[in-house]
Structure 1
Amino acid sequence: MSAKFDASVSAPQDAFERKRLAAVGPESWNNPEPSGPYQLVIVGAGSAGLAAADAAAALGVRVALIERHLIGGTCFNTGCVPSKALLRTATVYAEMREALRYGARAPATVEVDFAAAMTRLRRIRSHLTHSTSVRQLVASGVDVYFGNTRFEGADRLSVNGQPLRFDKALLATGARPQIPDIPGLKQAGFLTNATVFDLAELPPRLLVIGGGPLGCELAQAFGRFGAKVTIVQDMPLFLPHEERDAAQTLSEAFARDGIEVRLNTGVVAVRVEGEEKVVELVTDDYHSTIRVDAILTGVGRRPNVHGLALEAAGVNHDELAGVTVDDHLCSSNPRIFAAGDVCLDKKFTDIAEESARIAVRNALLGGRERLSERVVPWCTYTDPEIAHVGLYVREANARGIPIKTFTIPMHQIDRAITDSEQDGFVKLHVSEGSDRLLGATIVSRDAGDMISQVTLAMVAGVGLRTLAKVIHAYPTKTEAIREAAMAYNRTRLSTRLLERIRRRLGR
């Protein structure tokens, strides 16, 4: 039996939290009185909504931004920012335990201070309110409203009953955690990304339901803090959208961190016995149970469309897929556009922000920009990180596109060797018979930064022949990208050409 743990006990609302909440959701806020129709009304002030407000304000239009809860949405308050702060501290603890790997003396014992890590998280989140606050939005010319939104017609809505009219509107309400329908789960209590960063103490034993990016990132973080972590995934693999060798590399990293991964496993029931949560599992018809102190659900996100009365505005939508939009991000109502998690399958901050900027230009300037024309990378911030841009091999095959792949293992790269970070690879996909980049996957501790070079090359139409000419500072891990490009160049040396070169050099 582990020491008593109570997941319902939240970390104290210290000065950092008070500063954050005052900046992104002030209790004393009074909504403005509209003097007429807005040229643009944005519903939702998360990553997409803030990017849209910034773009619209720069154009000098009358813009209103409506938020139901807190400015910054999931990414700032309960997603990217707090998770990456926590992951960084967890990595420090992992490096302390593995000091011998770097030629240093490991401490006799590594004492984890989870409360200090959470305080650092809150301090960082509070500091970043300088770029995410109500008052900054107002200073840029945006009218900010707090409250519940309901559409009353094709060109009007209400905020807490207060009517607003608009020429154009943008739906950017984001998404919320999807809760699995498991008997006993709600009664036993569980964590989501919306609550996990409020923990006051580390759960000794943690079950993570779902092997997607969120589940994998937090599983590794909590495992490195010292929790006994089990990931349960009802599929034969985790990170199902990534390359199989990428997921395998991460699987090996999880094993070193002591994380247990159970694939092809479903959670069929949860019950409480004393201070423990007893979880019943089924793996290929084999029944088993595990006892944990906390359960984290990470099985995906569901778009926030409920309660908006979108029917009144003539906006087609679905509870699971979200708002239906075309490639220009316009809904079935030509006045109303959508951006971010509420309408997109890929729910990443960078895609949300870019889709919002496209939607604003199309809505206000009559643009015809297409989201499908954008080259958008994403990254799972485990250790090693897994970053991707463009097509996967399976996608190219499904489209009938002949593809050739060039792979450089990180253990061939000098800087990866000197850093003792040899796990992973750089994999570049090109259209067969040419050097045109179609996609890439990078697995490395620095993959999220490294993928930007490939993304830039794809946007600029730079092929592998040109990438092979790019000189990198030595030693850096990005040399792996040039090595992959040079591997392509070597394939261009046909047997006949090589023979001609040898004859010439032999003169």
Structure 2
Amino acid sequence: MENFDAIVIGSGQGGNPLAKKMAEKGWKIALVEQRQPGGTCINDGCTPTKTMIASARIAHLLSRSDTWGIRNQGYTVDLPAIIARKNEVVQQFRNGTVKNLEKAGVTVLMGTAVFSGVKTLTVTMHDGSIRELTATHIFINTGAAPFIPEIPGLRDVPYLTSTSLQEEVKVPPELIILGGGYIALEMGQLYRRLGSTVTIVEKSAQLMSKEDPDVAAVIKKILEAEDIEVYTATTTEKISGTQDHIEVQLQTAGKSHIITGTHLLVATGRNPQTAALQLSKTNVTLDEKGYVQVNDQLETSCPGIYAIGDVKPGPAFTHISYNDHLILYKNLFEEAELSTKTRQLPYCMFTDPQLGRIGLSETSARQAGYPVKVAHLSMDKVARAIETGETAGFMKAVVHEHTGQILGAAVIGTEGGEIMSVLQMAMLGGITATQLRDMIFAHPLYAESLNNLFMTLEK
């Protein structure tokens, strides 16, 4: 039995910096990774998809270059070259991850870890050897994987996930996407711009079911403007087909109909990767979906065992996982007593234009009983957007009617996430809507339009 001060299971965006910092404090640390260093973000999520989205944006701009007075002779999409560039960036990030961990003195074990007791692990290494580990502190950082729903016929056809789709070396001629969440919409626009015919099927009444209806409606309009077909309030009844020919039977408004495509992407959510951990040998409690239950300081029902990142309930974003590690580190080494309850929740969907979100939506603010005013500014009223020729979207801020404090915001627009971040900092600093209305911003930034956004409260 090898003894450590702490073991991190999973090399994700929370586990890696936590392991590194604990090792730098003199703790003996082991990190076990089953697949590739970096977790979902580097290998399947943020890094590869945003790299490919950048290529797709270039294709989109070229296809519309006449808008800006630029005549081009046409272009071709070289998907193998796009994938090669994506893989190069991913490998660069992987290499940096391992190098930083080993430099800090972390023992990196490539293998599969399962609990053999409350504070003991059995690790089956990639070479087949077995290591037995124990530690005072254990951090579960095993993330989540694509959820495959129980739809008749689905498991009998060659479906794709957001991971496997990125390895296709030919652009899918006709791509059907099940799901209308953030991943589905990013991937749908990405492959439409690379040349696929794209159809999105969502069972809820709107895309992005957790967003305000006006936000979902504008995103839908943007996608449809690029000839993406969108079905909402639609149930998938049955799937059949063979390689390069998929038939999906749908029900919309009580009527059944069939759509066909060459490829099928299942983007209906993600499941926590806890089934193989053998947590029954510990006192760690899971919820009905398999997520690890934690308190507001990320400790499980078993003292000394913690969970960070997507394996626990709550928003599944890389930056939340990273913040998890900060909470744990500061609580363990600085007696900070930080909690997940009071932290901000910013996020961004990287469609083009982006959707940046922070704080309460209008719907949730009203449901919570806040007296609110809503500032709203269409992007076609924003000087910078008009000048760049990209006027799709809007800015929206939910403001406390009496105090002027900003409760939340949604920004759909070019660099919408960056504008959202300005509002996030204003919320953290207690800067009011009136102060932002009168603040000096450099002209003609997108951020300068925050002046005009909050002027709309006076109307």
Pick from 406, 412, 415 the counterpart of residue 384 of structure 2: 415
Is 1:141 matched up with 2:110? no
Is 1:300 matched up with 2:269? yes
Aligned position for 2:358: 389
State the Cα deviation string for residues 363-408 of structure 1 (Å, max 9, x = none).
Answer: 4554421112111210110011111001112222222222221112
- CA drift at 1:205: 0.5
Distance 1:460 1:119, change over 3 A: same
- CA drift at 1:124: 2.0
Preserved contact between residue 168 and residue 364 of structure 1 (Cα < 8 Å):
no
Q: Equivalents in 1 of 2:327, 2:271: separation in Å? A: 23
Distance 1:333 1:365, change over 3 A: farther
The amino acid across from 1:253 in the alignment is I
Preserved contact between residue 10 and residue 140 of structure 2 (Cα < 8 Å):
yes
Q: Equivalents in 1 of 2:290, 2:68: separation in Å? A: 47
Pick from 57, 60, 84 the counterpart of residue 50 of structure 2: 84
Q: Equivalents in 1 of 2:171, 2:43: separation in Å? A: 20
Is 1:171 matched up with 2:140? yes
The amino acid across from 2:189 in the alignment is Q
Aligned position for 2:122: 158
Bigger shift: residues 377-386 or 314-323: 314-323
- CA drift at 1:359: 2.2
- CA drift at 1:224: 0.8
SS at match of 2:402: coil
Aligned position for 2:39: 73
Aligned position for 1:208: 177
Pick from 400, 416, 441 the counterpart of residue 447 of structure 1: 416
Bigger Cα Rg:
1
Distance 1:435 1:60, change over 3 A: farther
Bigger shift: residues 270-279 or 222-231: 270-279
- CA drift at 1:487: 4.2
Structure 1 residues not aligned, in runs of 5+: 1-32, 492-507
Q: Equivalents in 2 of 1:129, 1:469: separation in Å? A: 45
Preserved contact between residue 244 and residue 263 of structure 2 (Cα < 8 Å):
no
Q: Equivalents in 1 of 2:173, 2:22: separation in Å? A: 47
TM-score (norm 2): 0.94
Bigger shift: residues 84-93 or 469-478: 469-478
The amino acid across from 1:405 in the alignment is V
SS at match of 2:377: strand
SS at match of 1:296: strand
Q: How does 1:100-139 map to 2 (within 5 A)?
A: 100-107=66-73, 109-132=74-97, 134-139=98-103
Aligned position for 2:212: 243
The amino acid across from 2:199 in the alignment is T
- CA drift at 1:465: 3.1
SS at match of 1:239: coil
- CA drift at 1:168: 1.2
- CA drift at 1:427: 1.2
Distance 1:250 1:342, change over 3 A: same
The amino acid across from 2:233 in the alignment is N
SS at match of 1:105: coil
Q: Equivalents in 2 of 1:425, 1:439: separation in Å? A: 14
Percent identity over the alignment is 30
TM-score (norm 1): 0.86
Distance 1:366 1:319, change over 3 A: farther
Q: Equivalents in 2 of 1:55, 1:484: separation in Å? A: 42
- CA drift at 1:422: 1.1
Distance 1:482 1:59, change over 3 A: farther
Preserved contact between residue 86 and residue 221 of structure 1 (Cα < 8 Å):
yes
Structure 2 residues not aligned, in runs of 5+: 125-129
Preserved contact between residue 346 and residue 357 of structure 2 (Cα < 8 Å):
yes
The amino acid across from 1:190 in the alignment is Y
